[in-house]
């Protein structure tokens, strides 16, 4: 086993999971609405920290390591279709782009939520609607993200959520992409 996800990657991931979940749950009532804005700011802070860590973090945390060129992305999708996709030690090409989408969408939801609290945009309907619409898009991306994690875990017989907790994955074998 080797350590793939460093501590900041793991802490920031689970911070995002808890804060975004709390943002959603707090819209359902149950006296939780006062947690909505603080949880949203925590999510925004986690996104900013993760962006910085994408340049300064350890090997598999870096965008340069996992943001695939279009060609690599197409090759990976083609390999998936014939069930010959290799196992990646870091994020696979689809997963890497999903990371960027999730971070960008979380930032956009938090930014529009904050806008709605400013004097300039308070009570402006389209801002609230945009915030709500982007929050639903984020939820759809999260569903795809979790489906991708389950699919990849099954295909390569490894527990990827467990790896995001411990940071550790089985070392690369022949044919794996390191
Ligand atoms: C319980 C739900 C979730 C589970 C089980 C889960 C699991 C995972 C796993 C296993 C990875 C690593 C993927 C890989 O091996 O390439 C990952 C990465 C990631 N997930 Fe999730 N995830 C969940 C929810 C979320 C949510 C709600 C967000 C944020 C909106 C999120 C954002 C991310 C990001 C940004 C990464 C990239 C990690 C990094 O490199 O920093 N995830 N997730
Ligand atoms: C990233 C996490 C966030 C998510 C997933 C999220 C999600 C949502 C959703 C789904 C609603 C609609 C609730 C409803 O119509 O009953 C909502 C409303 C709202 N959110 Fe957020 N939000 C987030 C972050 C924020 C932040 C950072 C702020 C402000 C600092 C904020 C401020 C608001 C406000 C003021 C409303 C009420 C808008 C209205 O009156 O229609 N949200 N949010």
- Residue 88 inside a domain? The answer is yes
Give the chain's domain count.
Answer: 1
Question: Residue 168: helix, strand or coil by DSSP?
Answer: strand
Q: For position 30, what pLDDT does the model report?
A: 86
Which pTM value belongs to this model?
A: 0.94
Question: Does 121 contact ligand 2 (Cβ within 6 A)?
Answer: no
Could you tell me the CATH number of the domain that includes residue 115?
1.20.950.20
- For residues 43 and 18, what is the distance between their CA atoms, to the nearest angstrom? 9
CA–centroid distance, residue 2 to ligand 1 (Å): 19
- Residue 174 inside a domain? The answer is no
Q: Which residues contact 154 (CB under 8 A, 6 or more apart)?
A: none
- Phi/psi region, residue 170 (left: phi>0; alpha: psi -120 to 50; beta: rest), is beta
Which atom from ligand 1 is nearest to the alpha carbon of 9? 41
Give burial (CB, 10 Å; 0-12/13-18/19+) of 82. exposed
- Residue 143 inside a domain? The answer is yes
Sign of the alpha-carbon dihedral angle for 83, 86, 90, 96: negative
Q: For position 177, what pLDDT does the model report?
A: 96
- Residue 98 inside a domain? The answer is yes
Tens-place pLDDT, residues 120-178: 999 999 999 999 999 999 999 999 999 999 999 999 999 999 999 999 999 999 999 99
Q: For position 175, what pLDDT does the model report?
A: 95
> Per-residue b/e over 127-138, b at no fewer than 16 CB within 10 Å?
bbebbeebbeeb
- Residue 117 inside a domain? The answer is yes
124 with 99: CB under 8 angstroms? Answer: no
- For residues 20 and 55, what is the distance between their CA atoms, to the nearest angstrom? 24
Average pLDDT over residues 82-87: 96
Q: Which ligand has an atom closest to residue 137 CA?
A: 2
Structural domain that includes position 6: 2-169
- Residue 176 inside a domain? The answer is no
DSSP structure class, residue 57: S
- For residues 115 and 137, what is the distance between their CA atoms, to the nearest angstrom? 18
Question: Residue 2: helix, strand or coil by DSSP?
Answer: strand
* Ligand 1 binding pocket mutation candidate from 91, 164, 176 (most atoms within 8 A of CB): 164
Q: Which ligand has an atom closest to residue 117 CA?
A: 2
- Residue 178 inside a domain? The answer is no
Q: For position 29, what pLDDT does the model report?
A: 86
- Residue 164 inside a domain? The answer is yes
Tens-place pLDDT, residues 19-43: 999 999 999 988 999 999 999 999 9
- Give me Rg for the CA atoms of the chain: 18
């Amino acid at each position: 086993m080797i350590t793939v996800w460093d501590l900041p990657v793991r802490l920031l991931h689970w911070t995002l999971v808890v804060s975004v979940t709390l943002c959603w749950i707090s819209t359902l009532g149950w006296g939780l609405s006062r947690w909505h804005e603080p949880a949203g700011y925590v999510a925004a802070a986690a996104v900013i920290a993760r962006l910085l860590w994408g340049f300064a973090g350890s090997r598999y945390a870096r965008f340069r390591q996992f943001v695939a060129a279009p060609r690599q992305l197409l090759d990976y999708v083609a390999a998936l279709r014939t069930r010959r996709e290799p196992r990646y030690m870091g994020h696979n090409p689809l997963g890497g782009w999903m990371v960027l989408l999730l971070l960008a969408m979380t930032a956009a939801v938090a930014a529009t939520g904050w806008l709605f609290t400013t004097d300039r945009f308070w009570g402006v309907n389209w801002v609230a609607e945009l915030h709500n619409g982007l929050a639903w898009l984020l939820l759809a991306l999260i569903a795809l993200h979790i489906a991708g994690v389950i699919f990849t875990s099954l295909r390569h017989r490894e527990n990827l959520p467990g790896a995001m907790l411990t940071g550790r994955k089985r070392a690369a074998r022949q044919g794996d992409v390191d």
